[in-house]
Structure 1
């Protein structure tokens, strides 16, 4: 049987000297904002007082959720603002360009966010699109979404959501530049958005359930998407007050012409391999429990060291400010990387979702996490694996890896000055055997979530952070000593940067 995941990954792997392609088609540059012409919009509220937590508060074991949480329009506005915001404006090719609070490969922002309202005070039940360019909600259709939601998602009897958040990706936004490899970035970037969303929900103490597995067809139809151009990749349901309705609502209906909004350029090049793998990853397998990925990379650690993880780390700004300040900073400088900062990042990586209502999402076992460290960390320089459950690190290979990995990462020399390179890896054969092709989604979404968490944590400490999805895949596997079916999925460089060197 063909392993479609491994075949797709092989076909989209970069090889030195073989990644040059045609020049970018600037005449068909994708629109950064999805627009629904003629639809009613509702302006979001910008409350004067938002969350005052630090990132460490939201990732701590003692975070308490409000299981009587009641969603209203002001709280929803705060959640949306803290999930996805425009943070800076630049002028590029005679146009205004807006940077955002969510990391994205090439700043192409393929993701979109939709809200299903089921019991939100001050907002009619229905389906809404978060129009970030307008700081508003576009009204796609009013009415009940619960019957279709129940068909598309395996909701437990106790799950009565107050609001449902749908994260989608528009294929052409990233494929315009990265072609077929863009599917990796659709997943990573959607994971980035999902992590920002979970942090925003935690800041409101709103219990939530995450879903990576759902009926693609039902959910895409519910949102009015053109599935050849845009698809749903993740869902979050907020829980709280039990849903009550005195009358039977009509189901929400989205106009058929809304599907046209999934097209973001006049002429869009189609990449059938993206659609094919996404279609093949539609089935949800009820299979064996997934083994610990860290044990299936073909690596033989030399020794293990328990790490004392801190409850707090040296944060200089609060969580909302850290989200707003998030940037991909690349001007790394070699310098001191204090022990409390290093262990703070390990704590960020080891923190699990703390909503007791969470549905299993494969976050813990769909990927393995490791890192390359230089001497500034206080550890022996080398390649380490991180056991997130045991909070322990294992030395795989001693040595100085930074310059070699920078060479592997398409010769981005500035990466050599990082203090650590965080590595997200997976055995593709294990993923396929336990979850089918859908496991590929799980692994990249999980990697994106942790990558965004590192970004926000770094911003809170004024430390540089930059995610890297472009590297020579075979060279990366060879450098790390991975077996033939295990791959590096994502790398995040972290360390002091020139901008904050004097702080």
Structure 2
């Protein structure tokens, strides 16, 4: 086993793209992964998709989408949560095959994530473990009766949502690099789930640290193919404080349940993915919980600009934004007012830093910034975002967007985007503080914030498109990052051409 794969820095560098160093790779269309898990003789619980969604103001959600007050949820509320978290928003035919647009962004539209629900105290839903099927809007019962809460906490739990990733759905296209996209996509889905729970005023907590093997056994996953990445506890009313489910370890599910993690008749195993994921099984406590000192950039901002509160908050219905969210690349070089830029940044930074409901490990694993193009009301250049101090700092002036488009595998449409949102980390700091598991924190947080860029851009009437395909060192050198600094994810955003 290659030791360099057993660290965040080692895996990231081993799977880096290098100009003139990419190996040609054709897609096996005859064995493309299926988009839904196939369970034997499923015991389904239908959910109500016809019920009208409550009116939800998106800017208001961004100011208040944090844990609320305990409430006694019922199955109708759960149906609303699932619709807001992950839903089909449109259908089309691509290449003679049906294609389903979804409310969640995904690299290459491969959707490696799955969503599960462990019900403990849900009115109208028997205790047990369920898998969510968005195509027929139902829950598949995998276990009946009380199930343990993973991870255990000293609070009553009404239910737990689990987000998993199926490796081959992304590896079919991205090979060994796919672990990056599986984590990013888990973050995309997590942000929608977090916003849904916050919008409905629910009390919840997000967990990325738990016993990986125990979680896989509970969910009935084939650990060679699918992994649990996130758990979100929904804390219930005081009556639920009496218990959260079964004690002890979950019993393994039948082999045909595990085989549902197989999504293609011809799967290729990429050892680097399993190596880095299994290397992160152990949860490191870090240095007494202190956040790491990220040395992402060689330079610090020479000057800072305060983020103005929006004069006129953008009115937007949240359900409409979810329905209209798309990856759009037809960027238009156009002028953007200062008020619009500040409104956009207010939405994007609303739940960064101390205001985030994420675990401290995620909040401190990233540095965020953006490249401003020629149409922005600030000078073209590279800016760092400081969400806690509500300011942005100019690291370097000048035009970067065309060069960054070249560093993103020469996707030159990207040069027309008014903004390139940047999610960066210090790989060595991740390893020193949390070990290989730190890579999960940084990538999932980058995906979570990337989904927020999609939603904020949609609210503004702009377009957005995420980019994970990057000549890694070329992009880092362009930004003058440190030797261990890395650009994990880029999301282009700005005005787009109207059809």
The answer, yes or no, to whether TM exceeds 0.5 is yes
Q: Does the Cα contact within 8 Å between 2:352 and 2:387 map onto a contact in 1?
A: no
Distance 2:383 2:85 in 1: 32
Establish whether residue 203 from structure 1 lines up as the match of residue 192 from structure 2. Answer: no
Deviates more, 1:326-335 or 1:374-383: 374-383
Partner of 1:414: 413
Q: 1:54 aligns with which of 24, 48, 57?
A: 57
Distance 1:323 1:429 in 2: 36
Distance 1:87 1:443 in 2: 29
Partner of 1:40: 43
Change (3 A) 1:354 1:202: farther
Q: Does the Cα contact within 8 Å between 1:314 and 1:340 map onto a contact in 2?
A: no
After the TM superposition, which residues 166-185 of structure 1 pair with which residues of structure 2 at under 5 Å, given as runs?
166-185=162-181
Offset, 1:39: 1.3
Deviates more, 1:133-142 or 1:39-48: 39-48
User: Could you list the per-position Cα deviations for residues 180-215 of structure 1 after superposition, in whole angstroms to 9, with x for gaps in the alignment?
Assistant: 101000000000000000011011111110001111
Establish whether residue 19 from structure 1 lines up as the match of residue 22 from structure 2. Answer: yes
Change (3 A) 1:480 1:270: same
Change (3 A) 1:290 1:326: farther
Q: Does the Cα contact within 8 Å between 2:294 and 2:429 map onto a contact in 1?
A: no
Partner of 1:28: 31
Change (3 A) 1:255 1:304: same
Distance 1:196 1:77 in 2: 14
Q: Does the Cα contact within 8 Å between 1:304 and 1:395 map onto a contact in 2?
A: yes
Distance 2:175 2:286 in 1: 32
Q: Does the Cα contact within 8 Å between 1:362 and 1:442 map onto a contact in 2?
A: yes
- Structure 2: tracts of 5 or more residues without a match: none
SS of the counterpart of 1:91? strand
Deviates more, 1:105-114 or 1:331-340: 331-340
Establish whether residue 142 from structure 1 lines up as the match of residue 153 from structure 2. Answer: no
Partner of 1:125: 127
Distance 2:403 2:290 in 1: 32
Distance 1:17 1:84 in 2: 38
Change (3 A) 1:248 1:352: closer
Distance 2:484 2:139 in 1: 44
Distance 2:244 2:474 in 1: 62
SS of the counterpart of 2:498? helix
Partner of 1:401: 400
Offset, 1:275: 0.3
After the TM superposition, which residues 442-481 of structure 1 pair with which residues of structure 2 at under 5 Å, given as runs?
442-481=441-480
Distance 1:187 1:327 in 2: 20
Partner of 1:390: 389
Partner of 1:439: 438
TM-align CA RMSD: 2.3
Partner of 1:10: 13
SS of the counterpart of 1:179? helix
Change (3 A) 1:421 1:80: same
Change (3 A) 1:311 1:67: farther
After the TM superposition, which residues 237-256 of structure 1 pair with which residues of structure 2 at under 5 Å, given as runs?
237-242=233-238, 243=240, 254-256=253-255
Change (3 A) 1:313 1:244: closer
Offset, 1:290: 4.6
Offset, 1:44: 1.0
Establish whether residue 70 from structure 1 lines up as the match of residue 69 from structure 2. Answer: no
SS of the counterpart of 2:160? strand
Q: 1:91 aligns with which of 82, 90, 93?
A: 93
Offset, 1:24: 0.8
User: Could you list the per-position Cα deviations for residues 76-117 of structure 1 after superposition, in whole angstroms to 9, with x for gaps in the alignment?
Assistant: 000001111112222234321212111001100000000010
Offset, 1:417: 0.8
Establish whether residue 352 from structure 1 lines up as the match of residue 351 from structure 2. Answer: yes
User: Could you list the per-position Cα deviations for residues 25-49 of structure 1 after superposition, in whole angstroms to 9, with x for gaps in the alignment?
Assistant: 1121100111212011111112533
- Structure 1: tracts of 5 or more residues without a match: none
SS of the counterpart of 1:421? strand
Deviates more, 1:238-247 or 1:280-289: 238-247
Distance 1:466 1:133 in 2: 24
Change (3 A) 1:312 1:19: farther
Change (3 A) 1:355 1:287: closer
Change (3 A) 1:272 1:247: closer
Establish whether residue 282 from structure 1 lines up as the match of residue 285 from structure 2. Answer: no
Distance 2:245 2:313 in 1: 50
Change (3 A) 1:36 1:350: same
Q: Does the Cα contact within 8 Å between 2:291 and 2:361 map onto a contact in 1?
A: no
SS of the counterpart of 1:209? strand
Distance 1:48 1:17 in 2: 53
Distance 2:482 2:87 in 1: 40
Size of the aligned set, in residue pairs, is 492
Offset, 1:294: 5.6
After the TM superposition, which residues 303-314 of structure 1 pair with which residues of structure 2 at under 5 Å, given as runs?
303-310=303-310, 313-314=313-314
Q: 2:151 aligns with which of 150, 153, 158?
A: 153
